Structure 1
Amino acid sequence: MPVRLPLRTTAGLVGLTVVVGALVLATPAYAGKPVGSGKGAETEQSGGSDETGIYAAARIKYSGSVAPGGRTGNVTSSDVNWSPPPCWYAPYLGAKDFKKKMSAEIKEAASAPGMAGTPGAAIGQTKAHYEDEYGWEDHPGYKDYNVEKDGDGMFWAGVENPDEPDILKRNSCTELPFWVDNGEAPPPRYEQAINPEILAALAYQHMQLPGTEVTLAPDGTTKVNLPTWAWLDKADFHEVQATAALDAPGFALTATTTAKPVSLKLEPGTPDAETYPASGECTFNDDGSIGEPYAKGKADQAPPCGIKYLRSSGSGTFDLRATITWDIVWSGTGGAGGDMPDGTFENAQAVTVQEIQAVNR
C-alpha cells in the first residue's frame, strides 16, 4: 500500500500529495484463511509478514454463519447505496517494531534512483515526522518513533478490504501511520478507524444465508392454468448470526450481525403467469413458515403463496426465482448497535410447465 505524504512549502501546507511507491507498509492487505469449523464457520483474516519477521498486530476473526475460507457471503444489500468499508485503520505495530520497519524502508527509499526533488523532499519530511517531531495542522510529529512509549500504545495504519473490487476505494485510507495510546480511541478525524460498526459491516459482507429451494405442489410437472402452491417449512429458514471480532493487543472489539427472514418474493420467469398474492410477496407466518403446504383436493384453489402459469414451457423450462428478504440488525462492544440495510438472497429453480386439456381429480 503506497504511503501518500502531505508536503509543507514556504507558502504553508498545500493540498499536494506525493505517492512514494518505495515506502510500502506491508501487511495491511489481508488474506483470509480457515481456522476451524463447527456450527457455521470460523475464519481469520490476518496480516502477513515480511523478511524482518514483523507481523501486523490486528486480525479480524469471523464466526457463525459466515462463508468458509474468508470468502464473501451470499447476502446482497437491498440498498444500492450501501457497501462494506473499502478500507479502515487498525493497530499495526508497537513503537520499537515500527521504528525497525519504517526506518529501514525510509533508508531504502532514499537511496533508490529518481528520489531527488519532490519525492526526496517527501521522504525527508516523513523521516522528520517520525524522528524529529515534524508535524502539521492536527498531525503531531514523533520523537524517535515514540519508542519511549513502547508498550503503552501502538501505531495504527490503513488496511485494505481484500473483497473491495475498486482499487481506488481500497487505497483510500491514505493517512500516515499514527500513534494511539492503549485504552484510547483514535482522534475523531480518523473516521475510518476500526470500530464495532465497521466490524458489523464486515460481518454482513461475510454472512452466509441458507439456500433451501421452495417446495412446489401438486407434485410432478406443473400444468398450465393450474395453481401451483409454494411454501417454505419453518425448519428451513431461521434467524442466523455472523460475528466479526478484532484480535489485537490491548483491544477487544466485536460485533454481531443478525439476519431474520421476513418475506419471500416469487418471480415466475415469464410474463405469462400470475402470482399469489398478486404482488408476488409472501410474508412469513407466525410459526416461521411461508405459505401453506398443498393438500389433496386443493388443486383448483388459490394458494396463499404460489404461481399459475398461463402457457407451456414447451421443450424447455421457466426459471422460477425465489428471493428471501432478511431484516438485518447489529450489536457490538459497548452496547452499540442499530439497523442495517435489508439483505436478500435469491434461489433459482427450473420449472417445467405442460399444456393439458383436462385434469382428472
Structure 2
Amino acid sequence: MTLRGGWFATGVAATALVLTPGTAFADKGGNNAQGSGKAQTSGGQGGGAIDSLVTFSGSTGGGGKARTGNVRPVGDWDPPACWYEPRTVDQFGKYVEDTYNETVNYPGQHSYAKTAVGQFRDKYKDGEYKDYNKDVADEGNWWVAVRDEDRWMEPEAQICDEQPFWVENGDDPGVPNAVTPQVLAELAYNRLQLPETEVTLAPEANTKVNLPTWAWLDEATFKEVDVTAELNAGGLNIQATTTAKPVSLKLEPGTTDAETYPASGECVINDDGSIGEPYAKGKADETPPCGLRYLRSSGDGTFKLQATVTWEISWTGTGGAGGDLPNGTFGADQEITVQEIQSVNR
C-alpha cells in the first residue's frame, strides 16, 4: 500500500497536485513496504504528494518463500482510504515552500496551477496564518490529509478534503479519520499478509467418483499472524497491533455434483489449531470430519476446488485500547481430477 497526499484535494488546487513535479517529503531511507521489520509507506509519486509517517512491521509479506496474499474483509467494510496525521511547523512549512518553488519554476507549468499553489502558500505564510505559525510552534501542530495511493480515485478517498488545519496540543482534531490507535489498527488490517490456503487431500489431486476425499490443514503451518502500525509525529506516539486468527475452512468443490463434510462445507478449527483430520489407513469407509465427495467424473478436465479460510481479527493499541475488526478471508484454488471407478464384470 502506497500513500498519496491530499492537501490540494478540491477545486483549482487539484490541478496543482497533478501538474507539479515530484516533491520528496519524508525520508525515503528503508522504505521497503514489504518484508519483516519496520517499513515506512512511501508514495513515491510527484505532484506535491506527501508520504504517510505511519510505519508497519510484522506479517506484511515478502519475507519468506511461502505464498501469501491480502486479507479480504467479510461484508462491505473496508479500511480507511484516507486519514489525517499531524506535522510539525517546520515539516509543514518545508512541504509548502518546496511545492511552491517547484511549481513556479517548472518549465511549461500551467498558470492555473501556479496560481492555485500560490494562493495556498499565501494562506499559511502571509495570509490567515503568519509564517506557518512558527511563533507558536511549541503549542500545536498542523494536521494534514493522507490518502491510500491504491484507492485515491475512490470516493472514499475524497472524504478527507479539509485543507491543513492547526490543532493546539491536547485538543481533539475534530475530524473523522483523525489518526488514533484504532485507525492505525484498521490500516494494519490492510497490510495483513495471510498464508495461501492449500489443503492436504487424501486422495491427493486424483480421486474417484463417490469416494470420500479427506481434507485437512496442519496446525504447524496454520497459525496467527499480526501487523503493528506505529506513528511518531507531531507530538503523537501511538501504535496498534492487528492480529488475525484462523477459525474455519470453507470447501467449495467447484461443481454442484458433489457433497461436502460437514454439509455446510465449513470445517471448524480443532483444539490443537489444526483443521480436519489426516487420513489414515483403514478409514476408507469412514466419513471424514472435513472433506468432500464428488458424484460425477470431471471428464477430460478438472474441478476447481476452492479452499477459503476465515480469520477472526482483533487489535490492541496504545493506552489499553482494543477490540474486534470485521472477519477476513483468504483462499486459493486447487485442480482436482475425478475419475470413474472401473469395474470388471465376470
TM-score bracket, normalised by the shorter chain, equals 0.7 to 0.9
1:12-57, Cα deviation, whole Å (9 max, x unpaired): xxxxx554633779568999932785xx454221466989xx9968
State the match for 1:44 in structure 2: 40
Q: 1:29 to 1:100 in 2, by over 3 A?
A: closer
- Matches of 1:20 and 1:106 in 2, distance apart? 14
2:191 is matched with which residue: 183, 186, 206?
Answer: 206
Distance 1:285 1:150, change over 3 A: same
SS of the residue aligned with 1:22?
helix
Number of aligned residues: 328
Q: CA deviation at 1:334?
A: 1.5
**Given the two structures, how large is their TM-score scaled by the length of structure 1?**
0.77
Contact preservation (8 Å) 1:200, 1:257: yes
Equivalent residue in structure 1 for 2:212, among 227, 236, 239: 227
The verdict on how the C-alpha distance between 1:246 and 1:2 changes in structure 2, with shifts beyond 3 A counting, is closer
Q: Which residue of 2 is the match for residue 289 of structure 1?
A: 274
State the partner residue of 2:8: 3
Matched AA of 1:3: F
- Cα offset, 1:73, TM superposition: 4.6
Per the alignment, residue 177 of structure 1 pairs with 164
Structure 1 position 78, deviation (Å)? 0.8
Give yes or no for contact 2:34–2:61 (8 Å, CA) kept in 1.
no
1:61–1:198 distance in 2 versus 1, CA, 3 Å: same
Deviation at 1:158, TM superposition (A): 1.1
Q: Which moved more, 1:20-29 or 1:197-206?
A: 20-29
SS at match of 1:235: helix
Q: Which residue of 2 aligns with 1:148?
A: 135
Local SS of the residue matching 2:54: strand
Match of 1:66 in 2: 60
TM-score normalised by length of structure 2: 0.80
- CA distance 1:127–1:209, shift in 2 (3 Å): same
Residue by residue over 1:140-173, the C-alpha shift from the partner in whole angstroms, topping out at 9 and shown as x without a partner, is xx33321112344332211111221634433432
Q: Which has the higher helix share?
A: 2
Cα distance between partner residues in 2 of 1:20 and 1:305:
54
Distance in 2 of aligned mates of 1:91 and 1:229: 54
Q: Which range moves more in the overlay, 231-240 or 217-226?
A: 217-226
**Identical-pair percentage:** 51
Unaligned ranges ≥5, structure 2: 1-5
Deviations 1:242-274 (A, max 9, x none): 111113253211111111111111111111111
* RMSD of Structure 2 on Structure 1 (CA): 3.7
* Deviation digits for residues 162-218 of structure 1 (CA, Å, limit 9, x no counterpart): 221634433432211122344x25422x21211111111111111011124111113
Listed as ranges, the matches of 1:81-92 within 5 Å are: 81-92=76-87
Show the counterpart of 2:31: 33
Structure index of larger Rg:
1
Counterpart-to-counterpart distance in 1, 2:116 and 2:195? 55
8 Å contact from structure 1 (residues 57, 248) kept in 2? no
Question: Please, which runs of 5 or more residues in structure 1 have no aligned partner?
Answer: 6-16, 135-141
Query: Which letter does structure 1 place at the counterpart of 2:31?
Result: K
